[in-house]
Amino acid sequence: MDLSHLDLPFIWAALLAFAVLAYVVLDGFDLGVGILFLVEREPEDRDVMVNSIAPVWDGNETWLVLGGGGLFAVFPLAYAVILPALYPLMIAMLLALILRGVAFEFRFRATGFGRRWWDLAFCGGSVTAAACQGMALGGLLQGIHVENNAYAGGWWDWLTGFTLLCGIAVVIGYALLGSSWLIWRTEGSLQRRCRRHARALVTATLALIVVVSLWTPMLNPRFMHRWFGWPGILFTSPVPLLVALTAWGFWRGLALKHHLTPLLCAEALFVLCYAGLGISFYPSIVPPSISIWQAAAPDASLAFLLVGAVIMIPIILAYTGYSYWIFRGKISAGMHYH
Amino acid sequence: MSLDALTLARVQFAFTIGFHIVFPAFSIGLAAYLMVLEGAWLRTGRQVYLDVFQYWLKIFAVVFGVGVVSGLVMSYEFGTNWSQFAYRTGPILGPLLGYETLTAFFLEAGFLGVMLFGMTRVGRGLHFAATCLVVLGTHISAAWILASNSWMQTPQGYRIVDGRFFPESWLAIIFNPSYPYRFAHMLGAAYLSVAFVVGAVGAFHLLRDRGNAAARVMFSMAMWMAVVAAPAQIVAGDLQGDNTLQYQPQKVAAMEGDWQRHAPGEGEPLVLFGLPDQQAQTNHDEIAIPHVGSLYLTHSWSGTIKALNEFPPGDIPYVPVVFFAFRIMVGLGLLMFGVGALGLLLRRKGRIYETRPFLRLVVAMGPAGFLAMLAGWTVTEAGRQPYTVYGLMRTAESVSPVGAAGVAVSLGAFAAVYLVVFSAAVLFLLRLMAVPPHPGEPGPPKVPQRSAGLTPGPAGAVEEPSPEPAE
């Protein structure tokens, strides 16, 4: 098949952006459920919370493997620059995801102290993974120092006030997704408390969105021009308007005690923020110096994997949806597990 | 050897992949075994097959989870510690790993939930289909990852542009010369390892209760598997050895501890034991049987192979590691073959469930398959040093431009976390295995939640009777 007349790096940038968005939208709520362990301490509630995500978390996390593997495959230069640049964050995120991932199984097999420890691992792992992802995003946005196609900075270049803020924002945002998910999937007192958490979390999330959005254009003159220059502003101005509209939808859903509306609106907030990031980034993949075309693997690699992606991604989405369908419905409390 | 970033990165890779590989191999073999059990249950309707299925399904849940999260590390470690390797080989290896994710990981993840928790949510046929898809996923995953590894061992189908590997022919890349042998040998290792774990658990419970029907079933099936898989694995290993001799002669020379070419007519000995000395280029305290090496290496009485001193000293691996790992693998392989043969003999005499020394031997052999597999991977990975892409890219050129301190800290963190996670995993697995299988075996503990509220009722075949028998 000859795909060489296509702009393959552009298509792949879009596909990878989709994979990362799918990861954020899906694993976001299950990391958020882990983060909510901070405030939900009743063993029975915790079992319900974990049960609501147990059949799906593994698939959610696979999008992260696709994101990392895809970057390696189609933008090897970006992969080879970003990972060393964000080295401590990446290692911490992986370790956190390990602890949290095994805790799904282990916490059901342990008792007493063991159970408490794996609950802690689940919660701490979720918070750490979320914070690292946020900081990694911040570190990428503020730019990476590259010389001769390799990272040329130090260990801690990524650590700034901006990245810390992004880390906090993602933790809060994922917690919002988690509480919205639980509003949908639980009932009774846990659901009531999640509505309360969601109210506080959406306020904090919106505030953080505003601060990060105002800070980002100051990092890089190109971001500034993209957002406030002419004619860019024609395309950028709807984004904040849609954020406001979505926030209103969220509040309304919460007030009317809808089950699913808060989750849909919270996810929409993430999609909009993500679109905003895309507007800032494009066409860089490693700001400020590497564009998607510079980072791309040769067309032969991009075309080969594109065939697989075009065939497989719709199939994956179909059976992932089917799996969610099988495990739909409210999770009832008071199940006996042993 | 100073502890530079390169050494630390190598230690970290060996450590993380060594821990990781046991779990996917366990998953590959165990998933296949579960599929056979569920199929046997559906076909015969015998409760005991379902009991054994449920028993091992709980173990599968733990094994698979650890495999997933320890594998996630691998997909990022190429970037953190081996960024130059990633940059130069990404155009070839990246798409292979990308295909692994697209065709295998999602498939496994998508149907694992149904397999583990879906027994009461979907019909039997659909549940079996989910099990089969998970099995398919584990095997597709093995197919891609071994294609990648084999390409690094016997690269072809590429061209080099500015020092980077660009694809020329994907068919040549995937079906590179060592791939079929390595793939067969790895699948054999997974099946054999799981057969010995299952056999050990069955034997353990037979020692306590000779009449335990489920223990008899798992023990018997495992011993049949040993009879079939152990000889097949030896043949596959021999074929892979021939292939390695053709494409990576210094690896075979290191495996044999063959420092100097033997005189004409003398042939290759089989070195049973020796202490290879890399500096002096010789083995101390060698015990060898003449000519036997020629038989299995060259399939002749006095053929010889290229010896280690015929290569530049900088192009050969560190011999002692390869040499000993090879002996451990072969020794364990022969032991497993012996156990299989003994089992067959006892079965013919009708005493396979009663012979207590044999049962004890099988318990002791439980980890043998995994140990042999780790030893085998050590042979092939340590044996292809000093290269990451054989003959073309050295390990020293592959490493990231990061300092030793950071790699050391991350190595320490990995060691600490893996110690906790893997000790816990082993503890939980042993605890599960210590419980005797019994009729009406429950499934994984997170028994699915009954639907209520917005969308009541179970999905799928509502009329399907619960496979759990009424107490």
Distance from C-alpha of A192 to C-alpha of A203, rounded to nearest angstrom: 18
Q: Is B355 exposed, middle or buried (0-12, 13-18, 19+ CB in 10 A)?
A: middle
CB contact under 8 A, A301 and B95: yes
CA distance A72 to chain B (A): 5
Per-residue pLDDT of A1-22, as tens digits, reads: 566 678 889 999 999 999 999 9
For the residues A252-259, what does the mean pLDDT come to? 89
Strands of B323-401 (E only): list them. Answer: 387-389, 393-394
Q: Report the chain B residue with the minimal C-alpha distance to residue A337.
A: B445
pLDDT at B254: 87
pLDDT at B444: 67
Residues 6 or more apart in contact with residue B43 via CB below 8 angstroms: none
Judge contact between A94 and B76, C-beta under 8 A: yes
Distance from C-alpha of B454 to C-alpha of A157, rounded to nearest angstrom: 49
Contacts of A12 in chain B (CB under 8 A): none
Residues 6 or more apart in contact with residue B435 via CB below 8 angstroms: none
pLDDT at B447: 42
pLDDT bin (cut points 50, 70, 90) of residue A333 is low
What Å distances lie between residue A38 and A121, A126, B4, CA to CA?
Answer: 11, 10, 40
Mean pLDDT in chain A? Answer: 87
CB contact under 8 A, A319 and B110: yes
CB contact under 8 A, B75 and A59: no
Contacts of A58 in chain B (CB under 8 A): 65, 68, 108-109, 112-113
Distance from C-alpha of B178 to C-alpha of B166, rounded to nearest angstrom: 20
Residue-wise pLDDT tens for chain B (471 aa)?
Answer: 346 888 888 888 888 899 899 999 999 999 999 999 999 998 998 889 999 999 999 899 889 888 888 888 887 888 788 888 888 998 899 899 999 988 988 888 888 888 888 787 788 888 999 999 999 999 999 999 999 999 999 999 999 988 899 999 999 999 999 999 999 999 999 999 999 999 999 999 999 988 888 999 999 999 999 999 999 999 999 888 888 988 888 898 888 888 888 888 788 888 888 888 888 888 888 788 888 888 888 888 888 888 888 888 888 889 889 999 999 999 999 999 999 999 999 999 888 888 899 999 999 999 999 999 999 999 999 989 889 999 888 888 888 777 788 788 888 888 888 888 888 889 889 988 988 888 887 776 544 443 333 333 333 333 333 444 433
Per-residue pLDDT of B415-427, as tens digits, reads: 888 888 888 889 8
Judge contact between A114 and A168, C-beta under 8 A: no
Give the other-Cβ count within 10 Å of A149's Cβ.
16
B113, B417, B454 member nearest A95 (Cβ): B417
Residue in B20, B83, B88, B112 to test binding to A, most A beta-carbons within 10 Å: B83
Residues 6 or more apart in contact with residue B455 via CB below 8 angstroms: A328, A329
pLDDT at B445: 55
Buried b / exposed e over B15-39, threshold 16 CB at 10 Å, is ebbebbbbbbbbbbbbbbbbbbbbe
Contacts of A20 in chain B (CB under 8 A): none
Contacts of A56 in chain B (CB under 8 A): 113
Taking Cα atoms as reference points, which of A123, A119, A12 lies closest to residue A69?
A12
pLDDT at A45: 87
CB contact under 8 A, B69 and A259: no
pLDDT at A121: 92
Contacts of A51 in chain B (CB under 8 A): 446, 449
CA distance A241 to chain B (A): 32
- Report the relative pairing of strands A284-286 and A150-151 from DSSP bridges: unpaired
Residue B438, SS3 per DSSP: coil
CB contact under 8 A, B410 and A88: yes
CB contact under 8 A, B431 and A313: no
Q: Against a cut of 0.90, is the pTM above it?
A: no
Distance from C-alpha of B339 to C-alpha of B39, rounded to nearest angstrom: 27
What count of Cα atoms within 13 Å lies in the side-chain half-sphere of residue B425? 28
Contacts of B451 in chain A (CB under 8 A): 328-330
CA distance A198 to chain B (A): 20
Q: At what angle do helices A221-228 and A261-281 cross, to 10 degrees?
A: 120
ipTM over 0.85: no
pLDDT at B471: 33
**CB pairs < 8 Å spanning A and B:** 273
Contacts of B432 in chain A (CB under 8 A): 109
Judge contact between B268 and B308, C-beta under 8 A: no
What Å distances lie between residue B35 and B1, B128, B192, B200, B436, CA to CA?
Answer: 48, 7, 16, 20, 21
Q: Report the chain B residue with the minimal C-alpha distance to residue A335.
A: B449
pLDDT bin (cut points 50, 70, 90) of residue A118 is very high
Judge contact between B116 and B61, C-beta under 8 A: yes
Q: At what angle do helices A76-85 and B83-100 cross, to 10 degrees?
A: 120
CA distance B388 to chain A (A): 16
Cis, bond preceding A288 (omega within 30 deg of 0): yes
Residue B135, SS3 per DSSP: helix
Cis, bond preceding A231 (omega within 30 deg of 0): yes
Distance from C-alpha of B211 to C-alpha of A301, rounded to nearest angstrom: 58
Q: Find residue B284's DSSP bridge partners.
A: B275
Contacts of B168 in chain A (CB under 8 A): 300
Alpha helices by DSSP H, listed for chain A, are 8-35, 43-53, 57-74, 76-85, 87-109, 113-141, 161-185, 188-219, 221-228, 232-236, 238-255, 261-281, 292-295, 299-326
pLDDT at A43: 85
CA distance A148 to chain B (A): 12
For the residues A222-245, what does the mean pLDDT come to? 83
CB contact under 8 A, B65 and A101: yes
Judge contact between B61 and B225, C-beta under 8 A: no
CB contact under 8 A, B449 and A91: no
pLDDT at B458: 35
A59, A105, A326 member nearest B106 (Cβ): A59
